[in-house]
């Protein structure tokens, strides 16, 4: 089967993360899947954003000032309130900006609704991460209403067969599997817990490990358990080549252009 090339947060290396310009860029490059993160606002709108709170490294208020920690939780704001923030540029001088020197700012960009993305992306796949944690129950909806809000959006747009719902918090995945079995799920694991056995035991079929924790041993184990393997977030050319050589089913990158180059060079 062909490699599933996933543009991480759209194409974070090239355009402001989790925004419509980043998704446009990734689609133009030819990704098969857009990776993105979601939260739910106080008034129930599913929005595309990585952090449970506004991020001081990328959000500016209506006065043009960068937000400061502690920043408001996405779930504490209405969608209208959230629209007052500009997320089109990384804060100059921040470590975050230094990590992504090629990201082209698009000032004035707002946090999109999931429905806005569905409206502009007609054939690409979606890998949608529920940003929720048992450690921060007050910052998001609870797992069931969170997963249900997302399922409802996916069904309303009719993109069930083009969608995977992914999470580190397996509770939301169990809700999806129970209530929307037509939508695929992917189980994320961290660098410190790269165990495909746990994913399999939890009922998973797709394992998405931190790529730095992926090796021939745990990959072989995952294969023996019948899991698909889609590591995140592989950005450096040497790492991209190594991960492709391992024989993964997909690869999640902030730089889909680099993955395409590696595929071309490798004659893949
Ligand atoms: O797809 C998984 C990956 O996106 C998880 O990391 O923090 O970038 O959401 P994060
Ligand atoms: Ca993510």
pLDDT in tens, 6-39: 999 999 999 999 999 999 999 999 999 999 999 9
pLDDT tens per residue across span 185-228:
999 999 999 999 999 999 999 999 999 999 999 999 999 999 99
Please give the distance of CA 80 from its chain centroid, rounded to a whole number: 23
> Ligand 1: which residue has its CA nearest to atom 1?
232
Give the Cα separation of 234 and 240 in Å (integer).
6
Q: Report how far ligand 2's centroid is from the alpha carbon of 125 (Å).
A: 15
DSSP-derived 3-state class of residue 125: strand
Average pLDDT over residues 69-89: 98
Q: Report how far ligand 2's centroid is from the alpha carbon of 107 (Å).
A: 23
Token pair for residue 174? 């169990």
Give the Cα separation of 51 and 74 in Å (integer).
8
Q: Report how far ligand 1's centroid is from the alpha carbon of 219 (Å).
A: 19
Give the Cα separation of 23 and 2 in Å (integer).
21
- Is the minimum distance from the CB of 230 to ligand 1 under 6 angstroms? no
pTM (predicted TM-score): 0.98
- Is the minimum distance from the CB of 4 to ligand 1 under 6 angstroms? no
Q: Report how far ligand 1's centroid is from the alpha carbon of 63 (Å).
A: 30
Token pair for residue 121? 């992306």
- Is the minimum distance from the CB of 35 to ligand 1 under 6 angstroms? yes
Are residues 32 and 5 in contact, defined by beta-carbon separation less than 8 angstroms? Answer: yes
| Model confidence band, residue 1 (pLDDT cutoffs 50, 70, 90) | low
- Is the minimum distance from the CB of 6 to ligand 1 under 6 angstroms? no
Give the Cα separation of 83 and 204 in Å (integer).
36
């Amino acid at each position: 089967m062909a490699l599933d090339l996933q543009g991480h947060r759209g194409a974070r290396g090239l355009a402001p993360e989790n925004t419509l310009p980043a998704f446009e860029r990734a689609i133009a490059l030819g990704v098969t899947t857009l990776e993105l993160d979601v939260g739910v606002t106080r008034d129930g709108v599913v929005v595309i954003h990585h952090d449970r709170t506004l991020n001081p490294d990328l959000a500016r208020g209506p006065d043009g000032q960068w937000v400061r920690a502690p920043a408001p939780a996405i779930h504490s704001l209405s969608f209208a309130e959230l629209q007052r923030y500009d997320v089109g540029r990384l804060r100059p001088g921040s470590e975050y900006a230094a990590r992504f020197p090629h990201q082209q700012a698009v000032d004035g960009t707002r946090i999109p609704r999931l429905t806005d993305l569905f409206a502009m992306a007609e054939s690409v796949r979606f890998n949608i991460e529920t940003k929720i944690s048992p450690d921060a129950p007050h910052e998001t909806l609870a797992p069931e209403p969170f997963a249900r809000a997302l399922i409802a959006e996916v069904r309303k747009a009719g993109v069930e067969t083009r969608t995977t719902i992914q999470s580190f918090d397996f509770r939301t995945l169990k809700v999806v599997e129970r209530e929307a079995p037509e939508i695929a799920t992917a189980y994320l694991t961290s660098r410190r817990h790269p165990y495909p056995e746990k994913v399999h035991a939890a009922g998973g079929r797709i394992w998405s490990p931190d790529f730095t924790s992926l090796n021939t041993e745990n990959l072989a184990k995952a294969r023996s358990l019948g899991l698909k393997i889609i590591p995140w977030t592989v950005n450096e050319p040497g790492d991209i080549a190594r991960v492709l050589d391992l024989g993964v089913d997909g690869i999640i990158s902030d730089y889909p252009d680099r993955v395409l180059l590696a595929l071309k060079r490798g004659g893949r």
